[in-house]
Amino acid sequence: MTKDVFFKIKNNINWRKESGFFMLLDPVDYRLYFFNKDVSRSVLSKGIIIQTKGNVELIRYLKNKKVIQKINNTKITMDSEEKDFLFPLNVTIQVTDNCNLKCIYCHRNSKNTKTISFSNFKKIIKELRTLNVFNINISGGEPLLLPEISEMVKIINDSGMKATMSSNCTLLTDDLARKLKIAGLRQMQVSIDSDNFKTHDRLRGVNNVFYKTINNILSLKKEGIPFAVVTTLVNQTPEEYEKVIDMAYKIGAFAHKTNTFISSSNSSIKNSPNSNNFRSVKKFIKVWKRKKDEYDGRMILSAETMFSIQMGKNYISPFDIPSILDCGCPAGFLTCAINQKGDVLPCSFFSSGLILGNIFEDSFENIWNSKVAKEFRNRDNISVCGDCEYKLSCGGCRARSFGEFNKIKERDPYCFKNL
C-alpha cells in the first residue's frame, strides 16, 4: 500500500487559501499566482499539501521555487479549512501628505500635511503581514520626500510582501534608485499626464517638471526597476492621450495605466470636461482599445476601475481573470488604503468622507470586518447599481460616486450603461 506523501509550505512564504483558491506570492519574481479549486483541495489549513495525481505540477513548481519541504505525516490533522475572502490582496499606504508638486486634480489635503512615523509604519507592515496581504504600494503625497523611504521598502520586502511605489519621480536620483533597488522595490508607477511638457506642467501645477521626470526615469532603467506610466485624464485631448501612450512605450515602460479625474473637495478643479463627459469618454475609450491591440505583447495597457467601468462588462472583469477577482470596483474588497494618520479608507481615491477605522486605535482585522466595512461592501442598497445585473461584478466606482454626490450609496453617474 502506497503511503501518502506530505509537504509543508515554509514559514517565510506568503500564501493564502480562501474562496476556492490557493494563492501564493512567488518569492523569486514576486508574481501572485492563483491555483484553482481542484488544486486548492490538496492544501490543508496549516500549509500542508498532500501529493495527489491532480497536483503533481503544483508540487514540482513549489519544489523548484524551494518554498516547500517534505514532512513526516504522523501528526497531521486531516482538515481542509476553507475561508471566505477575508482581507485585501493589496494595501496602499499613503506615507505623507507632503508633495513637491501641486497637481490641479489631486485629492490630498495640502493645508494640513502630516507624515507617518517610521515606527508606526513598521507596526502597520507587521500587522498586514500576519494577515497575508500580498502587495504594499507606497504613495503620498510624494513618498520620495521621506529620507527613510528605502528603509520602508526594505521592511516590506523582508516581510515577504511585494513592495511597489507611486511617485512623480522628480526627486529620484541615481543613488536613490540604487538604494530602492537594493531594498527590494519591485515596481514604480510614474505619473505622466502628457507627452507635451506644457500640458504636463500645467496639470502638475509647477513649471519645468516634465523633463525632470523623463530624465530621472533613466535612473530606474539603470537599476532595472520596472516602471509603469500612469496618466490621469483631466482635460487633455484624445490626440494627447494617444501620444502619451506611445511615449510610455518609447521610454521603456512595461505598462501604461489610465486613471480618470475623481472629484474631491481638496482638488482645485471640481469637474473634468473630458473624463466625465460622455462624448469625450467615448473618444478616449476608442483610443485605449486601439492602443491595447497595437501594443499587445509589447506593453501592457491597463485601466483603473473608474475608467474600465466606463468601457463595459468585458473590460471591468475580463474573461481570463480568476473568479475571486471578479468584483468590479475592488475598493473595500481586494484593496484599501491607509493614510498617514492611520485612517483606513476603501481605496486611495477616498480622500475623506468614509473612514472605516483607524489602525492606530484598532486592529486592521477588526476594522476590515467591522459593521462599517461590511455595509460598504454591501451593494444591494446602492442607488441604481443595487438593481443592476452587474452589481457583484461591477458596482460602479464608489470613490467617483462619493465625489459627485457626497454619498456612499449613490449611483456611479458615468457607468458604461449611460454612454
User: Using one digit for the tens of pLDDT, what is the confidence trace for 66-80?
Assistant: 999 999 865 666 555
Distance separating alpha carbons of residues 408 and 329, to the nearest angstrom = 13
The per-residue pLDDT for 87 is: 93
Distance separating alpha carbons of residues 23 and 41, to the nearest angstrom = 12
Residue spans per domain, the chain: 5-75, 90-375
- Local structure of residue 327 (DSSP, 8 states): -
Q: How would residue 143 be classed by pLDDT, with cut points 50, 70 and 90? A: very high
Q: What percent of the chain has pLDDT over 90?
A: 68
Q: CA nearest 321: which of 32, 30, 109, 127?
A: 32
Distance separating alpha carbons of residues 42 and 187, to the nearest angstrom = 33
Q: CA nearest 88: which of 383, 397, 347, 388?
A: 347
Q: Biggest alpha carbon distance in the chain?
A: 76
User: Using one digit for the tens of pLDDT, what is the confidence trace for 267-280?
Assistant: 555 555 455 567 78
What is 276-311 written as a DSSP string?
Answer: T-HHHHHHHHHHHHHHHHHTTTTSEEEE-HHHHTTT
Q: How would residue 237 be classed by pLDDT, with cut points 50, 70 and 90? A: very high
Q: Is 288's pLDDT higher than 50? A: yes
The per-residue pLDDT for 383 is: 92
- What are the E-state strand segments in 20-63? 21-25, 32-35, 48-50
Name which CATH class applies to 90-375: alpha beta
Sheet with 68-71, strands from edge to edge, namely 48-50, 6-9, 68-71
Q: What are phi and psi of 283, to 5 degrees?
A: -70, -40
Per mean pLDDT, which range of 13-27, 200-214, 290-304, 305-319 is the poorest? 305-319
Per-residue buried b or exposed e for 85-102, using 16+ beta carbons within 10 Å of the residue's own CB: bebbbbbbbbbbbbbebe
The per-residue pLDDT for 1 is: 43
